[in-house]
Amino acid sequence: MALYERSGAAAYGVSAERFAAILDEILRKYLYSSSTQHGSAQHDSVHSPAVSPEYKADFCSALRLEELALARACAAGNERAWQDFISRYRQKLHSMALHITRDGAHAAELADSLFADLYGVTAREGVRKSKLLSYTGRGSLEGWLRTVMAQEFVNRYRKQKRTVSLEEQTEEGIQFAAAAPEPASTSDPRLEAATDEALAELSAEDRLTLASYYLDGRTLAEIAGMLGLHESSVSRRLDRLATGLRKRILAGLRMQGMSHAQAAETLETDVRDIRLNLRSRLTQDSGTNTFPGSSKIPAQDSGDGRTD
């Protein structure tokens, strides 16, 4: 009852019973699900306090209840809720879209499209299906809207990529992301195995850092924002990872029968390749992004001096 009062759901015509049902649905999704879906709290129902009443109460109290009530009331078609939603988020939606697309026309299109999804213009079996129904209050509603919009943008680009011909895109003046460099032809499978092993020993966060920096070309600042770290921490981490990986791969190669000199030579040759690859890749990437208008910043703009 306290949660219901805190949420202000009554103002939007959501009854206490309905709100309790919503919370129950969220609890079932995150606390009782034993699926391997991401984010389903994979707690062991025997040993974990996940399903204790106290845990459930804590989980619910940590939700963004007020925003949850607003979203669900909007999904239910409450007029006052929609008024509040529009006054709070309409302008933000357009700002978000502009931030994502970096283009006024595409931004308006993306924002309007998402707004339609949120309202639920498509009906299934006569029932309007609002996208807001999938908001569960685990993050801010604004952050959720931003994420949903980013997903929509990425999906839309992926679809367009499939349907629009190369000529059409060229006519539109779209620049293409440089083709990812071909994997280096490593004739020695021992190098691959040693590298896989070295990567497997890293934590997921370390691998994410590496992939973001070396594969996606993210700046240190972007990675820091993603992981909630300081930029210098990311830099130190990358430095440590690069050094550690090299040592581990060398050790792995020696374990597989290479002499120290052979292992070092194999790796040195490889490093020379990547320097060439990275230089050419960074050069080609300047001015083009994987997704048009995405926030990927070329190395020379980022100021982090990602050169060798």
Partner 1 sequence: MTEVPKIVPNIVFDRLRAAPPDRAHPEADLLTPFTERTLSGTEREGVIEHLALCGECREVIALALPAADVAALADETAADRATSIPVRDGNGNERTWLTLAWPNLIWTNVWANLVRPRLGGPGLRWAALAAGVVVAASVLLMHPGKLNQVVLPSSNRQVATTSPMEQSASSTKADETQLKPETQLSQQHPPPRLQAGPQTGQIVMPRHQAASTMLLADNKKQSAQAGRPPAGVPTLDISTRGGANETVEVASGTPAVTTESSPQGTLMARSDAPAIEKAKPALQSQDTKASEAQPTSAQASEQQNSGTAVAPGLRLHADVISTAKLAPAASRALAQHNVIWTITGGVLQRSSDSGQSWQDALRPNHPLLCSASRDKDIWTGGQAGTLFHSGNGGVTWVQVRPSIKDQQLSSDITHIDLPDDAHSPDKIVVSTGSSEIWSSADGGTTWEKK
- Contact set for partner 1, span 174-203 (CB under 8 A): 180-181, 183-184, 186, 191-192, 195-196, 198-199
- Contact set for partner 1, span 80-109 (CB under 8 A): 99-100
Does position 14 interact with partner 1 (CB under 8 A)? The reply is no
The only residue of 21, 62, 121, 174 in contact with partner 1, by rule CB under 8 A: 62
For residue 276, the minimal CB distance to partner 1 (Å) is: 9
Does position 224 interact with partner 1 (CB under 8 A)? The reply is yes
Q: Quick one: which segment of 8-16, 36-44, 170-178, 254-262 binds partner 1 (CB under 8 A)?
A: 36-44
Does position 287 interact with partner 1 (CB under 8 A)? The reply is no
Single-letter amino acid code for the residue at 145: L
For residue 167, the minimal CB distance to partner 1 (Å) is: 26
Buried-exposed string 83-113: b where 16+ CB fall within 10 A, e elsewhere: ebbeeebeeebbebbbebbeeeebbeebbeb
For residue 78, the minimal CB distance to partner 1 (Å) is: 21
For residue 1, the minimal CB distance to partner 1 (Å) is: 18
Q: How far apart are CA 221 and CA 208, in angstroms?
A: 14
- Contact set for partner 1, span 199-218 (CB under 8 A): 199, 204-205, 207-208, 210-216, 218
Does position 41 interact with partner 1 (CB under 8 A)? The reply is yes
User: Rounded to a whole number, what is the distance in angstroms from the first to the last CA of the chain?
Assistant: 60
Question: Helix, strand, or coil here: 32?
Answer: coil
The tokens 């995150």 sit on which residue? 30
CA torsion, points 92, 93, 97, 100, in degrees to nearest 10? 70
φ, ψ (nearest 5 deg) of residue 128: -70, 130
For residue 171, the minimal CB distance to partner 1 (Å) is: 25
Cα–chain center distance at 209: 13
Site pattern 126..145 for partner 1 (x: CB under 8 A): --------xxx-xxx--xx-
In angstroms, what CA-CA distances link 91 with 87, 106, 108, 109, 114? 8, 15, 11, 14, 13
Does position 255 interact with partner 1 (CB under 8 A)? The reply is no
